[in-house]
Amino acid sequence: MIGTLLAGGLKSVVAVVVVFLVLVTIHEFGHFIVAKKAGVLVPRFAIGFGPALFRFGKGETEYSIRLFPLGGYVQLAGEIPQDTFFKLGERIAVTVDDKGEVTQIAEPQDLPDGLDGNLSAIDTQRSFTLTLATDEGVQRYPISRHAVIVTGKDPIVLAPPDRQMGQKPLYARMLIVLAGPVMNVLLTIVLFAVVAGVIGTPVSPPQIASVLAHSPAYKAGMRAGDVVTAIDGQTVTSWPQFVIDVQEHPGAKLVLRVVRDGTAKSLTVVPEKDSAGNGFIGVVTASNHSIGTSIVGGVQETGQYTQMIYGALGQLFTHRSAFVKDTAGPVKIVTIIGQQAQNGILSLVNLTAILSLNLAIFNLLPIPALDGSRLLFMIVEWIRGKPVDPRKEYMVHAIGFALLILFTVFRTYLDVSQLL
């Protein structure tokens, strides 16, 4: 008994970790790959927040997995104007290579062997130079394309103008921001398609794969292979439509028009009432497992869930109780993932698809610190013909991020309260 409980708990933990890793990695990879294609320097690709548990460098990017798996980030050079890292007049130290280019910038105590002086000027967006006032005079230095800011923690890469996010065309920046949510939508379609491929997509118009013995359908003369084309003279085009028509008429006589071996027949069936009070006749539909049909099913399922999610978002503004009942924080999501893991891999895949779509839609909301807010600032830039002051935009995102943390804490409190 204890062994079974431990196995179930381990399965839930593994499922939670895998689901979060997949969702976050796919989202951040979208930003990452489009940024790379646009020529933006990407110093870091991190899954999770906090201290790094594992890291390695490849090319110009450091990849890491961090302690807290609820999120991740891709550091895009120049997303925050690099001039804001410095304060004119402050005392700094630099190292200069054989070409006379600055390769390292730090506080004097972090670079004891460097050339130190007061920062007179710095331009990281155009000329890529800095001016230092030392005891020997004022000297202007070009900055190396591989320069870093040395800090007590991880060094910060100082990207040249052509590798900065903020210096790229507006359309390129918008594509980089959109790429994360788009990747989550594509993941949703793929996962729904996988589920549809395994379970099968009902054939349209509905074709009967099997008939339960002694069921209302069997007594009415229905047989495997029959294609249902109409009920009471109304054309039937899909299995869901057929099921709804049957469920809504327990105890009533329904005249089914079916095609069997190319010949049309009329059969009269009386649905029995099940435990829920719905009508049933005892048939199983034929399913299509082809790749093309599965992909179409994945797209359709994604569209249906998108409508449901936006409908639920609308409810949050019209019904205050919907926030408590219809939303979920980290604790509730973890609990649901664990439950679905116990129900089997297909249930978990289906839930992952739904969570991926929720992540995409939530990120596109115009909430500060989210992708939707960044897109909103870019739309304002497009309308105005010039960008919003980067320092003001950064402040808005910083405040938004703090509010999101508070919201998460509050939602977690509600989750725990509901569970208890």
The domains located in the chain, with CATH, are 2-79 (no CATH), 82-163 (no CATH), 201-288 (2.30.42.10), 292-419 (no CATH)
Across the range 34-52, mean pLDDT stands at 91
Q: Contacts for 390-396 with beta carbons within 8 Å, 24 or more apart?
A: 390/80, 390/81, 390/84, 390/166, 391/81, 391/84, 394/80, 394/84, 396/368
Tell me what the pLDDT averaged over the chain comes to: 85
Which region among 8-17, 158-167, 259-268, 289-298 has the lowest average model confidence (pLDDT)?
A: 8-17
Whether 411 has a pLDDT exceeding 70, the answer reads no
Whether 203 has a pLDDT exceeding 90, the answer reads no
Tens digits of residue pLDDT in 81-97: 888 888 999 999 999 99
Across the range 33-42, mean pLDDT stands at 95
The per-residue pLDDT for 387 is 84
**Which residues in 278-305 are b (16+ Cβ under 10 Å) and which e?**
bbbbbbebbbbeeeebbbebbeebbeeb
Residue 386 DSSP code? S
**Known catalytic residue at 28:** yes
Q: Which of 28, 101, 301, 393 is catalytic?
A: 28
Tens digits of residue pLDDT in 305-340: 898 888 877 766 665 554 455 555 555 566 666 666
Q: How far is CA 391 from CA 120, 278, 325, in A?
A: 21, 61, 38
Whether 149 has a pLDDT exceeding 60, the answer reads yes
The CA distance from 196 to 297, in Å, is 7
Whether 410 has a pLDDT exceeding 80, the answer reads no
